[in-house]
Amino acid sequence: MLVLGRKQGEEILIGDDIRLVVQRISGNRVTIGITAPEDKTIIRAELLDCIDDAIATRGPDTRSRPRWPRLSRLAADANPQQTERLP
């Protein structure tokens, strides 16, 4: 694991098409802006754990698995104040 220290406004680039920007630091909370191609799924790890648990509960039926693009849109719609579109 690569660990980097960043200050507010500083960026981290991943490859040619993903950019992370430290938007705000307040106490022990950091707000990060992410710019990535639309075909990349971005999801918080704790949500992925919940999805995995739900799939395990429902069983191996692949028809019950969520579609990632739809899931990311639902997550953005659920928390619009936490979701910002960056240029």
pLDDT digits (tens, 9 = 90+) for 34-76: 999 988 888 888 888 787 777 777 665 555 555 555 554 545 5
CA dihedral angle for residue 67, residue 72, residue 77, residue 79, rounded to 10 degrees: 140
* 3 state SS of 11: strand
DSSP string, 47-76: HHHHHHHHHHHH-S-GGGSPPHHHHHHHHH
Between 53 and 78, name the one with better pLDDT: 53
- Separation of alpha carbons 40 and 68, rounded Å: 9
Average pLDDT (18-45) is 92
Kindly list the domain boundaries of the chain, sorted by start residue.
Answer: 1-38, 41-78
